[in-house]
Structure 1
Amino acid sequence: MKVEIAKGDDGLALAELRVLAMRESLESIGRFDPKRARERFLSSFQSSNTHKVIDGEKLVAFYVIENHKDHLFLDHLYVHPSYQGKRVGSEILLSIIDMGVSEKKAIRLGALKGSRSNNFYMAHGFVKTHEEEFDNYYELAFE
């Protein structure tokens, strides 16, 4: 597998992957709306901070990292359902953690309440900082 910076015309394929990856979690809380999920992603898509993971010719995951003055914000991390449970997400997250360590910046992120991703992030050392109506927020700090 290789990691590449996204291109401007990758937005729709990334939005489709987001819909596939989030479907189960959104259905479980009665909020699955594929059109809204696509539009929400595409409205803020910037290829320069979006990394896609490719296996052969197949898009299997992507993530978005925003580099702020005092922290890194993991805005998106989605893995194709057929690649979930195969350590793809963990490998991505460990590389982001390495980035945080080397830059001496905390990593922050949000996760949909009720999603399995909450346990995934906590298993990697993230601590819940607060919650809002639909999301839990986490941080992993390095000191």
Structure 2
Amino acid sequence: MVDWEIRPASAADVEAVAELRAEVLRADLERLGRYDEQRVRQRLRDAFAPAHTWVIEVGGAFAGCVSLRPAEDAHWLEHFYLAAHLQGSGIGTAVLRGLLERCDRVGTLVRLNVLQGSPARRLYERHGFTPESEDPVDVFMVREPNRDAAREPVA
């Protein structure tokens, strides 16, 4: 696996994240007839919450991001993007495993949505996510916490 690090995001990361989102989602959004080059970036800018986001770096350079946003009954896994040349390298799996372990320790349900037909769905299913509902564009998935994990606060 490639050597990588994860760090807390800052407001200064928003444009790099917006650009990566546009690149990563383009093929799926085009397939669904939903790609708009301004909208794909603006939706990220409007929803970006640095306090709940981490940046993935490879060799000190921006390579991806992920958010874990607390909500009333769960945490929402959002904005999980990794540069295309690093997909399949094990980084996404390692990042996801670490976040899910944190949620398991406190018994937190995790929700997400993934675009219909996205290969990312297989990653989520391998980590225990199951479909909860879907529409023509999105599949909404949920993962129950691993009840065997020790209970301690999410840092």
Structure 1 length-normalised TM: 0.93
Single out whichever of 63-72 and 39-48 deviates more from structure 2: 63-72
Moved more, 69-78 or 85-94: 69-78
- Aligned twin of 1:19: 22
Distance 1:63 1:133 in 2: 24
Structure 1 partner of 2:152: none
- Measured after TM superposition, the shift of residue 69 of structure 1 is 4.0
How do 1:1-143 and structure 2 match up within 5 A? 1-142=4-145, 143=147
Shift of 1:123: 1.8
Partner of 1:43: helix, strand, or coil?
Answer: helix
1:82 partner letter: H
- Post-superposition Cα deviations, 1:37-66, rounded to whole Å, max 9, x if no partner, equal 000100111111110001123211100111
The structure having more radius of gyration, on CA atoms, is 2
Query: Alignment RMSD, CA only?
Result: 1.3
Give structure 1 stretches of 5+ with no counterpart.
none
Whole-angstrom CA distance in 2 between matches of 1:140 and 1:64? 16
- TM-superposition CA deviations, 1:89-126 (whole Å, max 9, x none): 11111011101111111111000111111222112211
Q: Any runs of at least 4 consecutive aligned residues in structure 1 with deviations exceeding 2 A, and if so which?
A: none
- Percent identity between the aligned chains? 27
What's the CA shift for 1:23? 1.5
In the alignment, the residues of structure 2 paired with residue 40 and residue 68 of structure 1 have an alpha-carbon distance, to the nearest angstrom, of: 19
C-alpha distance in 1, partners of 2:143/2:109? 6
In the comparison of the two structures, how many residue pairs are matched? Answer: 143
State the alpha-carbon separation in 1 of the partners of residues 114 and 24 from structure 2.
13
For structure 2, the residue ranges without an aligned partner over 5 or more in a row are: 148-155
Cα distance in 2, alignment partners of residues 38 and 30 from structure 1: 16
Q: Provide the secondary structure at the position in 1 that maps to 2:88.
A: coil
AA partner of residue 115 (structure 1): S
- Normalised to the residue count of structure 2, the TM-score between the two structures is 0.87
Report the 3-state secondary structure (helix = DSSP H, G, I; strand = E; otherwise coil) of the residue aligned with 2:47.
coil
- For residues 61 and 13 of structure 1, the distance between their equivalents in structure 2, rounded to whole angstroms, comes to 9
User: Which range moved further: 1-10 or 63-72?
Assistant: 63-72
Distance 1:81 1:117 in 2: 12
Q: Distance in 2 between matches of 1:34 and 1:86?
A: 27
